[in-house]
Amino acid sequence: MTNAVAPLTTIPLPAPTENVEVPAPLYRLSKPFAAVQFDQSAKGRIVFLPEGAELRVVGSSCLSECFEVRRDGQLYHIFKVDLLGPWSTRLKKRPVRPVPARSVAASA
């Protein structure tokens, strides 16, 4: 009787995706848009986000048909049709370039 022995190979598995943070989409406005900003007492006020503003989507808003977005550390609520329309551009994630290692001269 012959025994067939196959070599044991390890297959690398990807890390679980539940612990990986997915970067939130980033948009740039090509024209000014109205948004709602809430203060500490939950009172909302209408503000205008300027042309060229970069908005990072945080999630869905407490307002109907809106996204909650962040700009310069402030939260705003903007209509989905305004953010996803042809007057805003979704920015692509820029690739991270590795910094080349330099040799360090040892000093005596």
For residue 16, being part of any structural domain is answered with: no
For residue 73, being part of any structural domain is answered with: yes
> pLDDT of the chain along its 108 residues, tens only?
565 655 545 555 555 555 555 678 899 999 999 999 998 888 999 999 999 999 999 999 999 999 999 999 999 999 999 999 998 999 886 555 565 666 555 555
For residue 48, being part of any structural domain is answered with: yes
SS (H, E, C) the chain: CCCCCCCCCCCCCCCCHHHCCCCCCEEEECCCEEEEEECCCCCEEEEEECCCCEEEEEEECCCCCEEEEEECCEEEEEEHHHHHCCCEEEECCCCCCCCCCCCCCCCC
Q: Whole domain around residue 30: which residue ranges?
A: 22-90
Q: How many domains does the chain have?
A: 1
pTM for this entry: 0.64
CATH number for the domain that contains residue 78: 2.30.30
